[in-house]
């Protein structure tokens, strides 16, 4: 027996769907806490209980209990199982409706429940999937039903709903399913540890072992088509504990082989990371001028690099000016006695520093900003130094 659970904000949609099945003659109500099977009456009674917890969003709980085709039980027995399920899940003082369906190739029933109890308490949905599975295993033994292997004991992880939808959309199995098939085929050959690694790598699977310095291996993961999945994500049969018992493995003999496999896998991962970094640089990211916000040390280091870049740019600027002759004879502003002009340039320089501090201009943009048509690199450097000294003296005076 299996159960599919859904929690939602609305009772009406699932109720209407099930009542329509009843009207069509392919379903019947086995049990209900409501005074009537009428949709309007049910919703009014639900609304009265909801008033106790008006802020609870997902108050609706819907589950379907599915039986194997050979277990076509009587209505009374299915109703008893459904009520036992509700009580064991904590819904013993709650509104509910149990509907049996006949529109599938296997017997199943739907249970609609209000998570808000008559006293205003709410059944927690924490770990409800695990609790549901435990209740199902208990009921199977209690009523002598076909026992289903729990997810913990399952050797393979089943296909999820998202994987099924992706498979329908792309007409291609998921990476998890591909890995399960490939690894299972290799394991069926009862290989040695070295053969196991070689055959998987030949099919594009990179293996990463959790290997201690002593050579002891405690886990395994598989990299395929850009994804890295742990053995537990594929199923118990793909964990290292099961793998080492299937293949021919000896820790002392195979520790070097496993270590080398790890080296190859990490090298492949690094190569993929390097390609991503190269693409980022090509897109225009300059690692030398990028400053991480909030890290003062990084900012200071970035400022030092930026200053070096400015110095280089200044030298190139002077060389270019000397070559083309446009600025060869231009007088230095530090030698000009026009105080008004000098004050204007100082004000412009201070504004430039504020813009740099707030906008984090790149090295080239900063040079263009400071070295306008009327500004000289040497003068600007000297002015910045003077300003720095003034601020430092002022801070010392405040501390004293």
Question: Is the pTM higher than 0.95?
Answer: no
CA dist., res. 77 & res. 71, Å (int):
11
- Domain shared by 262 and 184, yes or no: yes
- Domain shared by 14 and 55, yes or no: yes
Domain count, the chain: 3
CA dist., res. 366 & res. 309, Å (int):
10
CA dist., res. 130 & res. 9, Å (int):
22
- Domain shared by 104 and 21, yes or no: yes
CA dist., res. 340 & res. 327, Å (int):
22
- Residue 300's pLDDT is 42
- Domain shared by 133 and 39, yes or no: yes
- Residue 319's pLDDT is 60
Fill in the DSSP letter of residue 335.
Answer: G
State yes or no: pLDDT of 309 exceeds 50.
Answer: yes
- Residue 234's pLDDT is 85
Buried b (16+ CB within 10 A) or exposed e, 343-365: eebbeebeebeeebeeebbebee
Q: Which domain holds residue 22?
A: 2-142
- The answer as to whether 156 is a domain residue is no
Other beta carbons within 10 Å of 19: 18
CA dist., res. 82 & res. 31, Å (int):
9
Other beta carbons within 10 Å of 249: 19
- The answer as to whether 147 is a domain residue is no
- Mean pLDDT of all residues in 289-315: 46
CATH, residue 90: 3.30.930.30
| Spatial CA neighbour of 24 closest among 116, 102, 130, 129 | 102
Of the spans 179-188, 294-303, 379-388, which averages the highest pLDDT? 179-188
- Domain shared by 104 and 169, yes or no: no
- Mean pLDDT of all residues in 384-392: 66
- Domain shared by 214 and 334, yes or no: no
Q: Which two tokens stand for residue 90?
A: 């904590």
User: pLDDT band at 59, cuts 50/70/90?
Assistant: very high
- The answer as to whether 179 is a domain residue is yes
Length of the chain equals 400
- Domain shared by 86 and 185, yes or no: no
- Domain shared by 176 and 134, yes or no: no
| Spatial CA neighbour of 366 closest among 293, 323, 306, 287 | 306
- Domain shared by 137 and 167, yes or no: no
- Residue 322's pLDDT is 55
């Amino acid at each position: 027996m299996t159960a599919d659970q859904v929690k939602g904000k609305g009772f009406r949609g699932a109720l209407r769907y099930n009542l329509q099945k009843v009207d069509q003659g392919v379903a019947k109500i086995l049990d209900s806490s409501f005074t009537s099977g009428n949709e309007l009456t049910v919703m009014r009674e639900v609304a009265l209980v909801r008033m106790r917890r008006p802020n609870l969003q997902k108050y609706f709980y819907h589950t379907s209990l599915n039986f194997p085709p050979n277990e076509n039980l009587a209505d009374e027995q299915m109703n008893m199982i459904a009520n036992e399920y509700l009580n064991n899940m904590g819904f013993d003082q709650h509104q509910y409706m149990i509907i049996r369906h006949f529109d599938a190739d296997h017997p199943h029933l739907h249970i609609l429940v209000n998570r808000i109890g008559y006293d205003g308490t709410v059944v927690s949905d924490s770990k409800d999937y695990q609790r549901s599975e435990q209740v199902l295993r208990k009921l199977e033994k209690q009523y002598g039903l076909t026992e289903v292997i729990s997810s913990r004991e399952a050797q393979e992880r089943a296909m999820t709903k998202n994987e099924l939808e992706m498979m329908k959309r792309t007409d291609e199995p998921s990476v998890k399913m591909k890995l399960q098939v490939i690894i299972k085929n290799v394991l069926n050959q009862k290989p040695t540890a070295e053969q196991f690694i070689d055959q998987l790598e030949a099919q594009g699977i990179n293996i990463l072992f959790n290997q201690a310095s002593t050579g002891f291996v405690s886990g395994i993961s598989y990299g395929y088509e850009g994804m890295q999945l742990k053995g537990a994500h594929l199923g118990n049969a793909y964990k290292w504990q099961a793998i080492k018992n299937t293949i021919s493995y000896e820790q002392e003999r195979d520790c070097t082989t496993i270590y080398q496999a790890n080296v190859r896998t990490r090298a492949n991962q690094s190569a993929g990371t390097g390609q991503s970094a190269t693409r980022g640089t090509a897109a225009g990211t300059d690692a030398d001028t990028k400053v991480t916000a909030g890290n003062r040390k990084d900012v200071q280091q970035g400022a030092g690099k930026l200053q070096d870049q400015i110095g280089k740019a200044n030298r190139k600027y002077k060389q270019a000016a000397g070559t083309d002759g446009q600025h060869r004879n231009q007088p230095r502003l530090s030698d000009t006695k026009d105080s008004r002009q000098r004050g204007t340039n100082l004000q412009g320089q201070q504004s430039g520093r504020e813009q740099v501090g707030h906008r984090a201009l790149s090295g080239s943009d900063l040079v263009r900003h400071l070295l306008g048509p009327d500004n000289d690199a040497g003068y600007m450097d000297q002015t910045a130094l003077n300003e720095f000294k003034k601020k430092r003296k002022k801070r010392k005076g405040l501390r004293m």
